[in-house]
Amino acid sequence: MANVAVIGAQWGDEGKGKVVDWLASRADVVVRFQGGHNAGHTLVVGNQTYKLSLLPSGLVRGKLCVIGNGVVVDPDALLAEIERVRGQGLSVGPDVLRVAENAVLILPVHPALDKAREEARGDKKIGTTGRGIGPAYEDKVARRAIRVADLAEPETLSAKLDETLLHYNTLLRGLGVAEFGKEELLNKLLALAPKILPYAEPAWERLDELRRGGKRILFEGAQAVMLDVDHGTYPFVTSSNTVAATASAGSGVGPGAVGFVLGIAKAYTTRVGSGPFPTELHDEIGKHLGERGREFGVVTGRPRRCGWFDAALVRQAVKVGGVQGLALTKLDILDGLPELKICTGYRINGKHYKHLPAAPGAQAAAVPEYEVMEGWSGSSHGARSWADLPAQAVKYVRRIEELVEAPVTLLSTSPERDDTIMVRDPFAD
Ligand code: IMP
């Protein structure tokens, strides 16, 4: 049975929530495999809008959901989000939500250090979400992280907290920020334990069983390839690998289980936070895209920077992310623009580049090379078939396919779930 992994192919906020929700209706289980509550997925279902950060989008469809070991879990954020969606009428309990027992926990020390470091960076800040994602992943590779399973062992917790506090209080002191006391943190974790542990299990084992039972798995990526800690615009990236290969290590299944890789890209480009963005528009068109596309961060509320579609960037994401098909979203936002530009490469210090090089200086200096296309006057909003689209909009999509070297397998033309043109069912074998 085919599985599907969905990943962002730009800098995040490509409209993954809608696509994942749409695919979740065809899946049996939805798995998050990296990131944490820095993600923000908006799902519009009928007259309800769900804003999810940590919970897999499949919950909205009543599907079994798994938070994999590759996710960093803030227990307070998890419980708060569960309460919030319960308030919207969703039923969330251990019967539909499972959390990998080997997932790393985000503790209050993590956002404290995240924010203090950003503050200290001044105008060199990364623009993180301030949610402690980076420090939590640092703890994981430094082998000092407190994980979900540790909540069941008070002695382990106590010993690990000593190491955590030695590390964090030293840094926080140096940055002139309030330190944390052990008693308070330990009591907090002991109080959280009975609320979190009912969700905990060896998620890899459940996924293995489901797989052997022929169930369809949807792996839900967060952030996007250009925010990948290896392949993105480092250091202006998040702290996890966001490429599809992570679906395997981040949930405890072999690479063969990942299946079809669907990359999501907007028909233009946006980015939140700092860092290079060659096709960024500082003019009226950029403003227009931001307003019309309602480009505000779900998590931070920050306005997103907007620009033309960068085919060189998405092509790179297609290659390193293993993308086999593209879901192109928000095409309707381009309706009515007389002229459209697509970036096909860059000029950097007098030289042509087909992709964004790794050096930060070169990335910052990249000047886009554009191909100009005629826009369309008709409406693509709400189209559900190719025949509903203006001819020039179809040309735009076809040109994108050629340039990024991947077929468009899904086209989304409004926030509504059913306003989607499906070229190929990603779950088809
Ligand atoms: P962090 O993940 O909070 O460490 O933030 C690192 C960078 O990733 C910042 O530029 C954030 O704005 C960006 N980022 C993190 N999560 C998302 C997301 O879900 N969408 C878009 N950008 C994100």
pLDDT of 245 strictly over 90: yes
First to last CA, the chain: 7
% of the chain surpassing 70 pLDDT: 99
pLDDT at 423: 87
Give the integer Cα–Cα distance in Å for 220 and 317.
17
Q: How many angstroms is it from 140 CA to the middle of ligand 1?
A: 19
Q: Span 230-238, mean pLDDT?
A: 97
Q: What secondary structure letter does DSSP report for 35?
A: B
pLDDT at residue 343, rounded to an integer: 98
Q: How far is the CA of 223 from the centre of ligand 1 (A)?
A: 7
How confident is the model at residue 43, as a pLDDT?
Answer: 82
Taking the CA of residue 38 as reference, the ligand 1 atom at the shortest distance is: 16
Residue 171, pLDDT score:
97
Q: Which residue's CA is minimally distant from atom 21 of ligand 1?
A: 12
In angstroms, what is the span from residue 134 Cα to ligand 1's centroid?
10
Is the shortest distance between the CB of 238 and ligand 1 below 6 Å? yes
Q: Residues spanned by CATH 1.10.300.10 within the chain? A: 104-196
Angle at 121 between CA 119 and CA 124, to 5 degrees: 125
Q: What class is the 4-100+199-260 domain?
A: alpha beta
Question: Span 186-205, mean pLDDT?
Answer: 98
* Extended strands (E) in 60-155: 64-67, 72-73, 97-100, 104-105
What's the rounded mean pLDDT across residues 225-235? Answer: 97
The answer to whether the CB of 134 is under 6 A from ligand 1 is yes
Question: Active site includes 150?
Answer: no
From the CB of 223, is ligand 1 less than 6 Å away?
Answer: yes
Question: Considering the chain, what is the average pLDDT of its residues?
Answer: 95
pTM reported for the whole predicted model: 0.96
Q: What is the predicted pLDDT for the residue at 199?
A: 98
- Is residue 429 very low, low, confident or very high in pLDDT (cuts 50, 70, 90)? low
Q: Is the CB of 57 under 6 A from ligand 1?
A: no
Stretch(es) of the chain classified as CATH 3.40.440.10: 4-100+199-260
Instruction: Tell me the per-residue pLDDT of 324-360, one tens digit each, with 9 for 90 and over.
Output: 999 999 999 999 999 999 999 999 999 999 999 999 9
What is the reported pLDDT for 425? Answer: 87
Cα of 56 to ligand 1 centre, how many Å?
17
pLDDT tens by residue, 249-259: 999 999 999 99
Find out if CATH 1.20.120.1200 is the number for domain 104-196: no
Report how far ligand 1's centroid is from the alpha carbon of 314 (Å).
18
Rounded Cα–Cα distance for residues 31 and 220 (Å)? 6
Structural contact between residues 32 and 63, judged by C-beta atoms closer than 8 angstroms: no
Q: What pLDDT does 17 receive?
A: 82
Instruction: Identify the H or E element spanning 415.
Output: none
Of 52, 74, 128, the residue with max ligand 1 atoms within 8 A of its CB, to mutate for a pocket test, comes to 128
Q: What is the pLDDT of residues 401-418, one digit of tens each?
A: 999 999 999 999 998 878
Residue scoring higher pLDDT (25 or 83): 83
- Kindly state which CATH superfamily the domain 265-422 is placed in: Adenylosuccinate Synthetase, subunit A, domain 3 (3.90.170.10)
Instruction: Check residue 48 and give its pLDDT.
Output: 86
Q: Given the residues 21, 37, 41, 114, select the one marked as catalytic.
A: 41
Report how far ligand 1's centroid is from the alpha carbon of 218 (Å): 22
Residue-level pLDDT at 67? 98
Q: What radius of gyration do the chain's Cα atoms show?
A: 21
Domain with CATH 3.90.170.10 in the chain: 265-422
The yes-or-no verdict on residue 1 having pLDDT over 60 is: no
Q: Averaged over 357-370, what is the pLDDT?
A: 96
Return the ligand 1 atom nearest residue 272 CA: 12
54 CB within 6 A, ligand 1: no
**Residue 41 annotated in active site:** yes
* Residue identifier of the C-alpha nearest atom 15 of ligand 1: 38
Taking only the tens place, the pLDDT of each residue in 204-226 is 999 999 999 999 999 999 999 99
Encode pLDDT of 37-49 as tens digits: 998 888 877 788 8
> Burial code of 355-390, b = ≥16 C-beta within 10 A, e = fewer?
ebeeeeebbeebebbbeebeebeeebeebbeeebbb
Task: Among 34, 117, 227, name the best residue to mutate to test ligand 1's pocket (greatest count of ligand atoms within 8 A of Cβ).
Answer: 227
